[in-house]
Chains A and B, each alone.
Chain A
């Protein structure tokens, strides 16, 4: 058994990220099974489980909905279960979640939603407390790693005691911050076993109506219980003129900038502990809500008590909070002096890595004045200069549906040289249904499946096409070509996107074709495969004519100095020779022998 080493100096405390603390809590709580789809900022939860806690059987699912369904089944079988996803993943898994709320938990169910206020790596800032409330499940909000660990353990207990799924609502700042965590041993909980219970688990209307009544009663009981629970507390400060109601990371910022203020710290934000809230409102003269994201606590508490408190009128619902913003709200005019003012500097946006397989495809697409409807993955970076070859992104899998819809609106002629660009992991997640729709509804057009054999943007996870499971065990490889043909696509071809001549030819042919086709660009991600030998592209400055063709690759290893390109030996990727291929005067050379 491999477990995180305890730090002897700090008496059984570990420095853990919020994600690692969730994994630790799950292990201590005797969780048997976990399933998830990777998504920043939640990915490291299952990675930490697989790495450190082999007693938990953990696996990647093709998408969040399947992950939720599998843990539902495991709970029906009496196992304690966990699933984790980023906030938008909960949209994919919403269908099973809303009904699972009615069905309840046989083995404890803990669902982690990792929200991303500030949109560090997401397409929206949705606040999943609103989702949890709509689904009528319990919501717990930790404010640091210790609470994350504690709330997983307490959450699983609540789940079984009150027969409800529990949503642990994390945020990026909690997931990726490290703080000290006091830990304990694993408590083994027996798997209860599967027993049929049709009235409980088949929500046809006559059953579901009873289930809903039970859910309403459950929320009432939990609210009363929550007022007595250690999950919510009042800190009576010296100053009673002002009281702050807060939750999650915002609590830490309040304590930082305003240590004397009276605070109501909400750990369970659904159902709300109404008795405790009423008590707090009686203690202080006026209230400010300090919460990140939507005015969730503010609207519910003000609606119930008609309290003239303030919150979102002084704290924005956009972006992340930080100590500076909370200071401005609670103690206006006390902002810390800034001595050195920002100067305007070039931005440093993310870029495709040197050697990235996607670069070849986007280079050719851009060269042919083509572009794409895009999806969620590293290849979203195809939108950046110099390629500018990706024009839409909606959600996981949407590139295909969006391309079909554009064709329905304006016809094949109307949209010119657009293809749908989607990674292999995203295709398996929820792109394949879009492809089936294209076949079924008679679309033409081209879907480009960018197969780099890794779920890359989240840091490099396995998926059904890679031949490996989360725990590193071998798995059958999903045959994407056969899958596309089985959907009814007649023209499926596989190509190495770093073969630029062939790549260009394939695009030209597919732009001309008036039938549906799939191009699979197949080359492994640089994170998955590093050649043993070092080989660096070398520029002969005497041959170079400064035509800037190599700059059109957008390779981070190539910069422009004194009217010539400079290739960084440190950044250049061994088995990539795109710059050699695009140079019209053979000024760049590279020893590629044995590197493919």
Chain B
């Protein structure tokens, strides 16, 4: 087993399937034989606010929280939320972001403007790949698999075998949606 603790932050907005994505990652890491901890916050945050889940796995994990400047990977289900978490990236970390943008209420009410996220990412030099997960889910005929496409997209960057990812998806998604989820994972992994 690799002698390092891996730090992943999954972020986005309420209702995007962040908790399912982090459940799949945890299950896959457990199947690979790692100690696993994850942390997220429920309650008010669910009402369309920013949501994040920290996942850490390795030989022995103490803190359930990722430290600023230490994330190996950030998975953003929404573009601007990825940028919000960028300070958590380690110097050799990577941001994988869905190409979806969702306006927060502050933008809807005119109190703020939705930023040009791609330009800001480039300006900051954040190592980032933006993934057309929404379009892929559309092609597959099920918008609810966006999160699994994204799980597929981060899977090559983490020391977990493909077979364990697939087993983890099998464990966590409803049986009748298994086939489309496995296909979503496969498409994401190819990106």
Task: Point out residues on A near B: beta carbons under 8 Å.
Answer: 7, 9-10, 15, 40-41, 43-44, 120-121, 144, 172-173, 176-180, 249, 252-253, 255-256, 322-324, 327, 335-343, 345-353, 378, 381, 384-386, 457-459, 551, 554-556, 558-560, 570
* Chain A positions within 8 Å of B37 at CB level: 144, 177-179
A551-B43 in contact (CB<8A): no
CA distance A177 to B55 in the complex (A): 9
CA distance A179 to B38 in the complex (A): 7
Q: Nearest chain B CB to A88's CB is how many angstroms away?
A: 13
B104 within 8 A of A: yes
Task: Point out residues on B near A: beta carbons under 8 Å.
Answer: 13-14, 26-27, 30-31, 33, 35-50, 61-65, 67-70, 80-81, 83-84, 86-87, 89-91, 103-115, 120, 124-126, 143
B36-A349 in contact (CB<8A): no
CA distance A167 to B111 in the complex (A): 45
CA distance A240 to B47 in the complex (A): 48
CA distance A555 to B103 in the complex (A): 11
Q: A323-B63, A340-B86 are in contact. Are A349 and B69 (CB under 8 A)?
A: no
What total of A-B pairs shows CB separation below 8 Å?
181
Q: A121-B44, A554-B105, A558-B108 are in contact. Are A346 and B67 (CB under 8 A)?
A: no
CA distance A351 to B113 in the complex (A): 17
Q: Nearest chain A CB to B65's CB is how many angstroms away?
A: 5
Question: Which of A15, A41, A172 has a CB less than 8 Å from the CB of B36?
Answer: A15
Chain A residue nearest in CB terms to B81: A348
Chain A residue nearest in CB terms to B31: A9
CA distance A36 to B113 in the complex (A): 43
B30-A180 in contact (CB<8A): yes
Q: A15-B30, A324-B67, A353-B48 are in contact. Are A348 and B104 (CB under 8 A)?
A: yes
Q: Nearest chain B CB to A252's CB is how many angstroms away?
A: 4
> Mind listing 10 A-B residue pairs with CB under 8 Å?
A15-B30, A120-B43, A176-B40, A347-B106, A348-B48, A348-B81, A551-B109, A554-B108, A554-B109, A556-B108
* Chain A positions within 8 Å of B89 at CB level: 339-340
A346-B63 in contact (CB<8A): no
Q: Nearest chain B CB to A227's CB is how many angstroms away?
A: 25
B115-A338 in contact (CB<8A): no
B47-A559 in contact (CB<8A): no
B68-A336 in contact (CB<8A): yes
* Chain A positions within 8 Å of B43 at CB level: 40-41, 120-121, 457-459
Question: Which of B30, B107, B115, B124 has a CB less than 8 Å from the CB of A7?
Answer: B30
Q: Nearest chain A CB to B3's CB is how many angstroms away?
A: 14
Closest 3 CB pairs of A and B: A121-B43, A40-B43, A346-B112
B67-A323 in contact (CB<8A): yes
Q: Nearest chain B CB to A558's CB is how many angstroms away?
A: 7
Question: Which of A120, A323, A345, A347 has a CB less than 8 Å from the CB of B41?
Answer: A120
* Chain A positions within 8 Å of B67 at CB level: 256, 322-324, 327, 336
B126-A340 in contact (CB<8A): yes
CA distance A440 to B158 in the complex (A): 66
Question: Which of A10, A256, A381 has a CB less than 8 Å from the CB of B47?
Answer: A381
Q: Nearest chain B CB to A37's CB is how many angstroms away?
A: 15
Known contacts A40-B43, A121-B43, A351-B49; can you find 14 more A-B pairs with CB under 8 A?
A10-B30, A15-B27, A121-B42, A144-B37, A144-B64, A343-B120, A346-B111, A346-B112, A346-B115, A348-B48, A351-B105, A457-B47, A559-B107, A560-B110
Q: A385-B111, A551-B108 are in contact. Are A322 and B65 (CB under 8 A)?
A: yes
* Chain A positions within 8 Å of B104 at CB level: 346-349
Interface-central residue, A7, A177, A555, by most chain B CB under 10 Å: A177
B39-A177 in contact (CB<8A): yes
A179-B70 in contact (CB<8A): no
* Chain B positions within 8 Å of A327 at CB level: 67
Q: A346-B106, A346-B112 are in contact. Are A336 and B44 (CB under 8 A)?
A: no
CA distance A465 to B41 in the complex (A): 28
A178-B26 in contact (CB<8A): yes
A384-B105 in contact (CB<8A): yes
Chain B residue nearest in CB terms to A527: B46
Chain B residue nearest in CB terms to A320: B65
* Chain B positions within 8 Å of A385 at CB level: 105, 109, 111
Interface-central residue, A346, A554, A555, by most chain B CB under 10 Å: A346
CA distance A10 to B29 in the complex (A): 11
CA distance A275 to B111 in the complex (A): 58
Q: A346-B114, A385-B109, A551-B109 are in contact. Are A341 and B87 (CB under 8 A)?
A: yes
